[in-house]
């Protein structure tokens, strides 16, 4: 990832595209307000999402983060604030 601090909208856009690709569904079908398990992610695809976000954002994440932030919208907002805090923005 570059030095630019991503906002929640850009993180959400990436997450929705990732989930649409991994589930082979249209992007419009990936509702950011629906819990990820209801979207169709199982434990292994959820872990893959978190691992990809770790690499993309350059921060360490635990898979359990989805228990606290079970929707892509909520997760994206949390991650944006966390990245900003960790990078001192």
Domains of the chain, each with CATH number or no CATH:
8-86 (1.10.1200.10)
Question: What is the chain's pLDDT, residue by residue, as a tens digit (89 residues)?
Answer: 456 789 999 999 999 999 999 999 999 999 999 999 999 999 999 999 999 999 999 999 998 999 999 999 999 999 999 999 987 75
The DSSP code sequence of 27-69 is GGG--TTSBHHHHT--HHHHHHHHHHHHHHHTS---TTHHHHS
Q: What predicted TM-score, i.e. pTM, was given to this entire model?
A: 0.90
């Amino acid at each position: 990832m570059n030095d630019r601090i991503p906002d929640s909208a850009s993180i959400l856009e990436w997450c929705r595209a990732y989930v649409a690709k991994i589930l082979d569904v249209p992007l419009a079908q990936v509702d950011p307000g629906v819990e990820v398990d209801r979207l169709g992610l199982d434990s292994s695809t959820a872990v893959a999402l978190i691992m990809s976000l770790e690499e993309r954002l350059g921060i360490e994440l635990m898979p359990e983060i989805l228990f606290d932030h079970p929707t892509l919208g909520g997760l994206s907002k949390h991650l944006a604030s966390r990245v900003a805090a960790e990078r001192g923005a």
